[in-house]
Structure 1
Amino acid sequence: MTLEWEQVTVKAADPVALGQWWTEALGWVVVDQDDDVFEIRPEPERLPGLLFVRNDEENNALNRLHCDFRPDDQAAEVARLLAHGAKRADIGQGEQPWVVMHDPEGNEFCVLGQRH
């Protein structure tokens, strides 16, 4: 049996707004959207993608899954994402070579340091 990684599903109070935020943050393209679903990919036929689906339940739990992104220039990307509406997050990580952030709905993600 072979499995192909299709996408990561993200529950969102407003999947269109959050999906548009991530589209701009990543420079990806929209491949599907309606009021309850918003799907983006690096390119129209390239996987994996991110699928934002409507979820009206409030999330009070710590995220058990988050995305890590490795930029060419960590400081520049962190500054760009902060200007775009992301927030720095302190989840008890202490001093690390990565930066933990929250998207506009509070989902955690990390901007990693340079690859060694």
Structure 2
Amino acid sequence: MENERLLAKIEELMKQRGYSRYRLSQLSGIKQSTLTTMFNKRSTVSIDTLTKISQAFGMKCSEFLSLVEDDPEANTAKDFPVCEWEALNKDRKHVVVLMMRLLKDEQAEIK
């Protein structure tokens, strides 16, 4: 997903809700200087930052990302729970990946 689209959607939501950068900083816990640098230099938005910003708008990361998608119907990955994935430790991520592979293999056998 393009970083520029993420930043544009953040700015759009800020405008809709009447949030200044200062207000977004207060709600998200991100320093105002960090937000200013992010917007002015169009720097890459990290998952941690995106999680905090999404929460400031009262939504999950996956909900925010689905707003950014051009064609949500064409991309089933939009439903992937990014925030929950990031919260898992390495071992649990490994288990999830194994389960996904098993499901994929099972599905291939059914077809």
Answer yes or no: same fold by TM over 0.5. Answer: no
TM-score, normalised via structure 2 length: 0.29
- Which of the two has greater helix per residue? 2
| Larger Cα-atom Rg | 2
- Which of the two has greater strand per residue? 1
